[in-house]
Structure 1
Amino acid sequence: MLEALPPLRLNAPDSRSRDAAVTLSVFRNPLVGVMVARSAERQRLATAFREIVRAELPNGPKVTEGGFQVIGAGPDKWLIFSPEHHGSFDALSEAVGSSVLLLDQSSGWLAAQISGRMAPAVMRKGVQIDLHEKTFAQGDAALTILDQFWACIWVGPGPVSTFNCLVRRSFSAAFHVWFQEASAEFGSSASYV
């Protein structure tokens, strides 16, 4: 799967610099799932979710954390993310049963994290939403256009200058090019994690 991704190149004036202002970390084996429920099943789903994931279902474009990061993607629709695959996804699938659509779509997504002191400046070059920490803080998410492709972005966990991005795998090359161009003036590093 990773073979299809373009090689990560560094844009720093001195690419060996340990003090890169922006770092791109692409997750090697992330879990990305989609969960859709009928409105009538939401309470049952919320209960199962609390028991398995140890988190509440977010309302609106928010992120909750437990065994997964869960991003509200629309009415009764959520994206599920974890940097690594783990058994909780199977347990959640069994707990919610067939009345809730729960799909592992990991192979269709590129999951990355952009961090560092200049990460907000890099992100502002790609999105047309206000990323100021008072309006887009930890726990907030957005389904938006990043450069010229659809993405889901959210802050954290960690410092305010950490952004997570989910991009359709077919746009991974465009995402890499965007990152390289947007971060070129600041100095950057990139790696698979």
Structure 2
Amino acid sequence: MTDGRDVNRNVSRDLGGGPGREVICLPRGKRALWFLVAAAAAGAVAAVLRSARSGGPPDIGAGVGLLLALLGVAALRKAAARVRADAYGVHVRTLLSRRSVPWHQVAELLVRRKYSRTDRGPKTRRVLLALHDGGRRLLPLPRGRSGDDPAFEATLDALRALHRRHGGPESAHARVVPYPATGSGWALPLGLCALPPPRTHPPCAGTPATAAGPGCGC
């Protein structure tokens, strides 16, 4: 068993009845992710109830609830991801779908390298399945950083060994495919943009307002 130091936990084990190996990729810190999901859900429900009890238009509490819900969905996506490879092929499970790709459909395994916008940002790597029909399938796991990442390299080697044994790879090496630079994510900006403006008091029927300030102190 090999524990990834970055964002994934990988398990390789022998399959009965042959020399094949089963590779299982799980997200690292899965308990922490599920705790974050539960905390986000509780915070979102509390914010919605507070907004409902106030009886007025959506306030800052509703915006906080929406932000917590978005963060909870992001954590849930990571916690639900799972990749398993065996003699048949690669089996991918995400939050919304499950898919299997047999080895005879896979032409080669590529490494997608994703650069950050800044030179100081990390360069992440993921495995990309290149199919014989020209399509490509990006695996949610494993994930690794460019440079010294023995957990990612070991998982990639195990996947390539399964492909060589049960499929027909077109390349003897794992080619690296660059990916355009992207930002850090959408959840936080979208949540902040969704925050409603603060409540303002309606104009009172007292003394009319002047250029110097409001007309009354209500």
- Smaller-chain TM-score bracket: under 0.3
Bigger share in helix: 2
What is the TM-score when the length of structure 1 is the normalising length?
Answer: 0.25
1 or 2 for the larger relative contact order (CA 8 Å, sep ≥6)?
1
The structure with the larger Rg is 2
